[in-house]
Structure 1
Amino acid sequence: MPIKESELILNPDGSIYHLNLKPEHIANTVIFVGDQDRVAKVSRHFDTIEFETQKREFKTHTGTYKGKRITVISTGIGPDNIDIVMTELDALVNIDFETRTIKKNLTSLDIIRIGTSGSLQKNIPVDSFLLSTYGLDVNAMLHAYQIDTICNKAIENAFIDATNWDSKKGRPIVIKNSSNLERKFESNKTHKGITITAGGFYGPQGRVLRLPLQDPLLNKKIDSFSYQGERITNLEMETSAIYGLSKLLGHQALSLNAIIANRATGNFSSDPKQTVENLITYTLNKIAD
């Protein structure tokens, strides 16, 4: 049964609706960045750039680095944008746009996020790299999908108990990274931990300007949470959505963050741009190895 035009939306030139891409435009290794300006900061390291496009906040460059074909895409901010980018990327490789049917032989992409974040733990200093072992979803977007087979119920239940999680909020979801990519990208330069993915930057991450929080003690509970040696190391807005949709769609995903602040100590990087640049070159070289 062909997928309806209202579900798989294509532009007049045959490209997919939001990303403005055709299947031949993307590589099987994809780097995600949030900021569209960071796309060029990655691709300037490429030996060649074969394709460029942008629509809205979604900017894409595809090229080669040390002989490896790579695509870098800006996702914008938040799990809702990840839902768009992940779904459309999967469609590009696993749906035949001519027949609007799912291909018999499916393609698995390698997806590596390069982000920035603040550490919640004193032992993870500014200017270090953080590899997310799990994404802990507290924004509820993934509940739109059938996720029971990809969740870690034990960690979820422990987190709910430790934080006295309000039942009016969506149930937290915990999803593992790609073990294959973790082995490839880990080194003595990377710290590890659980990354919380929030649906906003202010209240959802415990920041207060004028609005009071539903649970003003939540961040303290998060900081002290531990499960079998795993601690929550940082808060951001994309990782769990990337991990969840990758698991559901059969892709491999890993989230890396340049730590530019430490909320436990109050420190901020003296040169955050250089820290991000260091993570970009680290990531590219790991991909090319």
Structure 2
Amino acid sequence: MMRTIPASELIINDDGSIFHLHLRPEQLADTVILVGDPGRVALVAEHFDTTECRVSNREFNTVTGTCKGKRMTVLSTGIGIGNIDICVTELDALANVDFATRQVKPEKKQLTLVRLGTSGAIQPDIKVGDFVFSRTSCGFDGLLSYYKGRDAVCDLDLEEAFVKHTGWYEKMPRPYFVDADPALFELFRDVCVEGITIAAPGFYAPQGRWVRLEPHDVHLNEKIESFELGGRRITNFEMEGSALAGLAALMGHRAATVCTIIAQRIALDACTDYKPFVKQMIRTALDKLATL
């Protein structure tokens, strides 16, 4: 028997929109650009040829329209893994759940989810202004372990090698590694540096920063920087990509994260006037996605 999803598990607002995003199914395009900053939605949408709708609730701002003739949605997620859990789950429900019957549709729709973010590099040859494509995302957040099938979408050999190399503290969530969609990697590979990107559950100690509270392992970043397996290395930190990659893989969607580098952790340098880099990343990504 097909499961009917209870109202407490999938909350639908009185206007037929989903609880957090306030979107109705017909307002969602199959190609979705995810940005963290609500203000960045306008930077993407200004390139749209037409606009169908603008929806806003909390930090979740959405515009759906067309760019170069292709229908797209741009959505702000805010900061952090928890918001990605909300956004990806609700986007999938908009695409693949019948809101009238509260049942999963027999024919599944595959969304293309591309996060355009900002990031700090942890390798000396990656410069401020570079674009990094997270061919693999590493989650320090533990989110994916709450979902059945976690190991089936993760690179367990990479996980084990990383845990061993870093002497991972067992009371922290176990890191997990998930690959981006291969077709999206091929689409972006000529304009990006390939990387393994860590998604941390915080900005300070989880990324090795020490303001007043000392990190549990003050040498963890050095271990991360020196990690290498099969010629691959960890390139940068951000805060959302692992949950996006993992949830999309479990749900059958295509997903990827592209970040512009705004800080060089090795050089102890950061750029606060990074909007030109972000604008160039947006233009590049829209050109690429319009060809799909």
What band does the TM-score fall into relative to the shorter chain? over 0.9
Partner Cα separation in structure 2 for residue 239 and residue 99 of structure 1:
32
Matching residue of 1:216: 218
Distance apart, 1:36 and its partner CA? 0.2
Q: 1:163 aligns with which of 156, 166, 170?
A: 166
Partners of 1:2 and 1:99 within 8 A in 2:
yes
Q: 1:225 aligns with which of 210, 224, 227?
A: 227
Matching residue of 1:33: 35
Distance apart, 1:266 and its partner CA? 2.6
Matching residue of 1:78: 80
Q: 1:207 aligns with which of 209, 214, 228?
A: 209
Q: State yes or no: 1:148 paired with 2:155.
A: no
Instruction: Specify the SS of the correspondent of 1:126.
Output: coil
Structure-2 change in CA distance of 1:211 and 1:268 (3 Å): closer
Partner Cα separation in structure 2 for residue 201 and residue 142 of structure 1:
20
Instruction: Specify the SS of the correspondent of 2:73.
Output: strand
- Whichever residue aligns with residue 178 of structure 1, its letter is D
Partner Cα separation in structure 2 for residue 122 and residue 148 of structure 1:
32
Partner Cα separation in structure 2 for residue 38 and residue 148 of structure 1:
34
Partner Cα separation in structure 2 for residue 143 and residue 120 of structure 1:
26
Partner Cα separation in structure 2 for residue 171 and residue 128 of structure 1:
29
Distance apart, 1:268 and its partner CA? 3.1
Partners of 1:198 and 1:237 within 8 A in 2:
yes
Partners of 1:79 and 1:238 within 8 A in 2:
yes
Partners of 1:36 and 1:74 within 8 A in 2:
yes
Distance apart, 1:207 and its partner CA? 0.7
Q: State yes or no: 1:176 paired with 2:168.
A: no
Partners of 1:127 and 1:269 within 8 A in 2:
no
Farther-moved stretch of structure 1 (240-249 vs 163-172): 163-172
- Whichever residue aligns with residue 7 of structure 1, its letter is E
Partner Cα separation in structure 2 for residue 88 and residue 236 of structure 1:
22
Partner Cα separation in structure 2 for residue 243 and residue 148 of structure 1:
13
Instruction: Specify the SS of the correspondent of 1:77.
Output: coil
Q: 1:244 aligns with which of 228, 232, 246?
A: 246
Q: 1:185 aligns with which of 179, 188, 197?
A: 188
Partner Cα separation in structure 2 for residue 171 and residue 265 of structure 1:
29
Partner Cα separation in structure 2 for residue 286 and residue 178 of structure 1:
15
Partner Cα separation in structure 2 for residue 28 and residue 284 of structure 1:
14
Matching residue of 1:128: 130
Residues 103-122 of structure 1: pairs in structure 2 closer than 5 A: 103-122=105-124
Distance apart, 1:271 and its partner CA? 4.1
Partner Cα separation in structure 2 for residue 107 and residue 10 of structure 1:
20
Matching residue of 2:200: 198
Instruction: Give 5+ residue unaligned stretches, structure 2.
Output: none
Matching residue of 1:101: 103
Distance apart, 1:270 and its partner CA? 7.3
Instruction: Specify the SS of the correspondent of 2:132.
Output: strand
Distance apart, 1:170 and its partner CA? 1.5
- Whichever residue aligns with residue 150 of structure 1, its letter is V
Instruction: Give 5+ residue unaligned stretches, structure 1.
Output: none
The alignment's TM-score, normalised by the length of structure 2, stands at 0.97
- Whichever residue aligns with residue 243 of structure 1, its letter is A
Q: 1:13 aligns with which of 12, 15, 19?
A: 15
- RMSD of equivalent CA atoms: 0.9
- Whichever residue aligns with residue 169 of structure 2, its letter is D
Partner Cα separation in structure 1 for residue 7 and residue 290 of structure 2:
38
Partner Cα separation in structure 2 for residue 220 and residue 258 of structure 1:
22
- Whichever residue aligns with residue 251 of structure 2, its letter is L
- Whichever residue aligns with residue 154 of structure 2, its letter is C
Partner Cα separation in structure 2 for residue 102 and residue 229 of structure 1:
42
Instruction: Specify the SS of the correspondent of 1:213.
Output: coil
Partner Cα separation in structure 1 for residue 28 and residue 272 of structure 2:
36
The alignment's TM-score, normalised by the length of structure 1, stands at 0.98
Farther-moved stretch of structure 1 (141-150 vs 63-72): 141-150
Number of aligned residues: 288
Partner Cα separation in structure 2 for residue 163 and residue 97 of structure 1:
46
User: Percent same amino acid at aligned positions?
Assistant: 48
